[in-house]
């Protein structure tokens, strides 16, 4: 580069020599805006609600709503356009503006640059001494924001043609992640060159890495009706099965975890002595699901859930022994009742078996593998769609999956869009709300049924069944403890299973209603299918009916949710700000904050500030 060129000329020349497609720039802009939107929605709920305002554009026209935040640490203010309001979902932000101290005019700023100011303000608001002590966490949060942004941009590039309604297409379609998380697509521990294989949005497929271990090292368990040897046989075709030495047992492993384990000195010692052998990649190719670490193949009746040396959103993803044991124990518990038969629209996807390597002085070795039932094998791939995929923001120029389903339903039935939407929502509550509240009432078991853990059978258009997955998400009521321990005595010794109902009902309300049902309502409102107010009224009536019909803890839950002016919600930004791994905390509990309850009847007269709620 000639030394006489100015910095501006150098910059222009560097840009011109790099061929950047219009699509690449466009996808980056979409990712940048989506990154700001998820972060800003968390920021206004957990850190600073901002000041609502409305102004008329210089060119005239209707008033535009804004949220304004003071960023004292940067001696600046931010103003974000509110393109769309929601009673129970995220605000839709448009352009972002900044005004520095001593300036009169607002000027547009790139969303990521606005985020830098917001991250700085997150910590400055804690006070100088504490902010200085958390400088490492501040840098870490900013890094995760940027990692999440790059993950969205890469996912958008890979999203073309992935609009199906089968199980794995939907699992791999969550380009933007969950809107109530400040870094929804953050993956720490996966390199850029590994993402195309292991990140679900890229739709990679790969074989498992197998180890042969001395049977004396193996720790395993399975619920009745499950055979670990038969499960392992299903993973490898007969002509590909490796030759084992006498007294050896196979253990499958995610390739990323296998590589990390081989660097462990204790594992290396076992390998050196011949008690453990790495056999390499063998057998069927699997695809990563939305959780990244749970793998699926349509040709195998089992999914496999592994520990990974990867920090995904809030946590390092490690299978704890208590979770392995809980999956088997709860499988036994439900096998000894008829409750699933009495609630046929509810389907429990069990985690009824596990295997691991037991090492001295370690609770977990890293070899923990959970075997999960796979109801979506070949021929049944369309029977389960994660609710997170139905409610997710679609890629630019496309419609959400939920909108496509409801418009298709209306076209086939001749109903209006509103009629079809209300009918779909009622059928959804029949599957996803009523059975879960009734099971909690009758059995004392509540589920962490957030939108990623819940799946719907929408193969006929209307929801016909709800599937629940995840052995980290069981809440067993202390009020039902005697009965539950009589059915499954091992549940008494597994930590993190039994809770008082006051805590269960708070968490159950967040996961089932705030996180899941409200996401459906917000999506239908955003897509202009049915007004949010109308759907909230349907939900309110359904909870009122459950509160009247049920006499136990489920009825208490329904009644208490309606009577609370605020509801608990997971504070993902505060969790990230303090660098808390929620799975390492006591009973896996994260930080929670209180948000206005959209179902509380007194809320109508207390709309936030002067912002006008947009009705569909």
Residue 418 belongs to a domain with what CATH number? 1.10.510.40
In a domain, 11, yes or no: no
| Nearest residue to 517 via CA among 404, 435, 433 | 433
Alpha-carbon gap, residue 50 to 66, rounded angstroms = 10
Do residues 365 and 394 share a domain?
no
Domain boundary residue among 330, 354, 373? 373
Domain boundary residue among 151, 171, 191? 171
CA 27 centroid distance within chain: 22
In a domain, 331, yes or no: yes
Q: Cβ distance 75 to 101 under 8 Å? A: yes
pLDDT at 582: 59
> Does 9 have pLDDT greater than 60?
no
pLDDT at 507: 96
Do residues 30 and 158 share a domain?
yes
Alpha-carbon gap, residue 392 to 390, rounded angstroms = 6
Residue 589: pLDDT band (50, 70, 90) is: low
Range of the domain at 478: 384-563
Alpha-carbon gap, residue 419 to 447, rounded angstroms = 30
Do residues 289 and 236 share a domain?
yes
In a domain, 48, yes or no: yes
Do residues 366 and 222 share a domain?
yes
Q: Cβ distance 89 to 179 under 8 Å? A: yes
> Does 3 have pLDDT greater than 50?
no
Element (H, E) at 447: strand 445-447
CA 317 centroid distance within chain: 13
pLDDT at 615: 25
Do residues 321 and 213 share a domain?
yes
Alpha-carbon gap, residue 553 to 479, rounded angstroms = 9
In a domain, 293, yes or no: yes
What's the number of domains the chain is made of? Answer: 3
Do residues 317 and 392 share a domain?
no
Torsion of CA 53, 58, 63, 69, to 10 degrees: -20
Kindly report the pTM of this predicted structure: 0.91
> Does 314 have pLDDT greater than 50?
yes
Beta strand 353-357 with 76-84: parallel, antiparallel or unpaired? unpaired
In a domain, 239, yes or no: yes
> Does 285 have pLDDT greater than 70?
yes
State the chain's maximal CA–CA distance in angstroms.
84
> Does 364 have pLDDT greater than 50?
yes
Alpha-carbon gap, residue 39 to 52, rounded angstroms = 18
Alpha-carbon gap, residue 147 to 303, rounded angstroms = 28
Do residues 302 and 404 share a domain?
no
In a domain, 184, yes or no: no
Q: Which residues contact 609 (CB under 8 A, 6 or more apart)?
A: 51, 52
Do residues 265 and 389 share a domain?
no
In a domain, 444, yes or no: yes
> Does 126 have pLDDT greater than 90?
no
Do residues 362 and 215 share a domain?
yes
Do residues 404 and 424 share a domain?
yes
Alpha-carbon gap, residue 429 to 461, rounded angstroms = 14
> Does 499 have pLDDT greater than 80?
yes
pLDDT in tens, 242-278: 999 999 999 999 999 999 999 999 999 999 999 999 9
| Nearest residue to 412 via CA among 460, 457, 465 | 460
pLDDT at 23: 61
What DSSP letter does each residue of 504-558 carry, written as one string?
A: HHHHHIIIIIIIIIHHHHHHHHHTTSS-HHHHHHHHHHHHHHHHHH--SHHHHHH
Q: Cβ distance 569 to 89 under 8 Å? A: no
Q: Cβ distance 214 to 125 under 8 Å? A: no
Domain boundary residue among 373, 397, 420? 373
| Nearest residue to 357 via CA among 229, 217, 250 | 217
In a domain, 447, yes or no: yes
pLDDT in tens, 47-82: 999 999 998 777 767 899 999 999 999 999 999 999
Helix (H, G, I), strand (E, B) or coil at 591: coil
329: how many CB neighbours lie within 10 A of its CB?
26
Do residues 532 and 395 share a domain?
yes
Tell me the average pLDDT of the chain. 90
Do residues 368 and 413 share a domain?
no
Rg (CA), the chain: 25
């Amino acid at each position: 580069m000639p030394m006489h060129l100015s910095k501006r000329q150098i910059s222009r020349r560097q840009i011109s020599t790099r061929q950047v497609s219009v699509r690449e720039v466009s996808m980056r802009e979409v990712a940048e805006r989506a990154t700001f939107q998820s972060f800003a929605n968390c920021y206004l709920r957990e850190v600073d609600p901002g000041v609502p305002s409305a102004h008329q554009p210089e060119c005239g026209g209707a008033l535009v709503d804004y949220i304004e935040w003071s960023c004292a640490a940067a001696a600046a203010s931010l103003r974000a356009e509110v393109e769309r309001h929601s009673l129970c979902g995220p605000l839709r932000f448009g352009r972002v503006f900044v005004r520095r101290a001593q300036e009169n005019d607002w000027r547009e700023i790139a969303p990521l640059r606005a985020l830098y100011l917001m991250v700085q303000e997150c910590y400055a608001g804690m006070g100088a001494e504490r902010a200085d002590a958390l400088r490492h966490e501040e840098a870490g949060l900013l890094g995760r924001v940027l990692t999440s942004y790059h993950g969205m941009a890469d996912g958008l590039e890979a999203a073309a043609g992935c609009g199906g309604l089968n199980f794995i297409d939907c699992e791999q379609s969550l380009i933007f992640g969950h809107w109530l998380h400040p870094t929804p697509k953050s993956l720490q521990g996966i390199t850029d060159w590994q993402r195309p294989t292991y990140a679900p949005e890229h739709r990679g497929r790969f074989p498992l890495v197998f180890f042969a271990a001395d049977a004396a090292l193996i720790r395993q368990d399975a619920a009745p009706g499950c055979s670990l040897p038969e499960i392992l046989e299903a993973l490898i075709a007969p002509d590909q099965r490796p030759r084992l030495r006498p007294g050896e047992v196979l253990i499958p492993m995610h390739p990323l975890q296998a590589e990390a384990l081989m660097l462990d000195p204790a594992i290396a010692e076992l390998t050196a002595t011949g008690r453990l052998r790495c056999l390499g990649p063998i057998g069927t190719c699997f695809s990563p699901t939305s959780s990244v670490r749970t793998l699926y193949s349509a040709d195998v009746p089992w999914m496999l859930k592994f520990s990974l040396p990867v920090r995904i959103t809030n946590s390092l993803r490690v299978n704890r022994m208590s979770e392995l044991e809980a999956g088997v124990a709860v499988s036994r518990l439900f096998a000894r009742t008829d409750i699933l038969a009495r609630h046929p629209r509810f389907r429990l996807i069990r985690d009824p078996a596990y295997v691991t390597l037991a090492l001295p002085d370690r609770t977990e070795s890293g070899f923990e593998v959970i075997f999960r039932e796979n109801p979506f094998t070949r021929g049944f791939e369309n029977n389960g769609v994660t609710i997170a995929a139905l409610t997710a923001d679609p890629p630019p120029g496309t419609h959400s999956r939920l909108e496509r389903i409801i418009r298709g339903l209306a076209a086939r039935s001749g109903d209006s869009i509103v009629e079809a939407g209300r009918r779909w929502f009622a059928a959804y509550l029949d599957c996803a709300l009523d059975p879960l509240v009734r099971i909690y009432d009758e059995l004392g078991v509540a589920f962490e049924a957030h939108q990623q853990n819940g799946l719907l059978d929408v193969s006929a258009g209307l929801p016909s069944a709800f599937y629940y997955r995840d052995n980290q998400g069981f809440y067993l009521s202390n009020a039902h403890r005697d009965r539950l321990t009589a059915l499954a005595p091992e549940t008494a010794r597994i930590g993190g299973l039994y809770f008082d109902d006051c805590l269960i009902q708070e968490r159950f309300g967040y996961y089932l209603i705030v996180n899941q049902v409200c996401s459906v309502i917000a999506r239908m409102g955003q897509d202009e299918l049915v007004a949010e107010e109308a759907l909230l009224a349907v939900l309110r009536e359904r909870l009122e009916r459950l509160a009247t019909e049920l006499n136990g803890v489920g009825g208490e839950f329904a009644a208490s949710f309606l009577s609370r002016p605020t509801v608990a919600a997971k504070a993902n930004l505060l969790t990230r700000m303090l660098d808390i791994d929620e799975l390492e905390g006591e009973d896996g509990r994260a930080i929670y904050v209180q948000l206005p309850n959209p179902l509380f009847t007194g809320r109508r007269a207390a709309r936030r500030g002067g912002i006008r709620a947009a009705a569909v």
